[in-house]
Amino acid sequence: MVNGQIILNKFGNIVDKEWKKTETLRSNIKLDEYVIMPNHLHGIIQIKRNEGDCRGAMRRTPTTEQYGKLVSNSIPTIIRSFKAAVTKQINEIKQSPGERFWQKNYWEHVIRNEQDLHRICNYIINNPLKWPSDKYFI
């Protein structure tokens, strides 16, 4: 972090490359605003649906899965795959197989309207300015 701007190191570049790859690997995913912080990532994932796939109240984004059963293109599966790819590459560089890189879980929020999207985009854009007051500031 320099003057409120993120300067990615080699690990940050891996995170950036793999985050962008999420959209390339999945045709129904569109990435929106994101920022890679020194100790975390904020990002918006849009899951696009085909119009014929569902109707009315049945239009739901896959966000849950049963333990041990992957649900293709669900948020848990997308995040798990992203974290695994990043961890593998970083552990290869560090020569530290099996070492944890990410916290165990993640926080998600369903964006339901344009106002919410605008608020969250602003939060993500301005997050680097808050880094000096973060409890993990180095």
Q: What is the pLDDT of residue 138?
A: 64
Q: pTM, whole model, 2 decimals?
A: 0.81
- Beta strand 41-47 pairing with 29-36: antiparallel
Q: What is the pLDDT of residue 93?
A: 95
Are 93 and 10 contacting, i.e. CB atoms less than 8 angstroms apart?
yes
pLDDT, averaged per 10 consecutive residues of the chain (138 residues), comes to 85 97 92 92 87 47 59 85 95 92 89 95 92 75
CA distance 36 to 124: 9
CA distance 7 to 20: 17
| Domains, the chain, with CATH or none | 10-133 (3.30.70.1290)
Query: Alpha carbon 69 to chain centroid distance?
Result: 21
Q: What is the pLDDT of residue 101?
A: 87
Q: What is the pLDDT of residue 57?
A: 38
Q: What is the pLDDT of residue 32?
A: 95
CA distance 118 to 103: 27
Q: What is the pLDDT of residue 134?
A: 77
Instruction: List the beta bridge partners of residue 42.
Output: 35
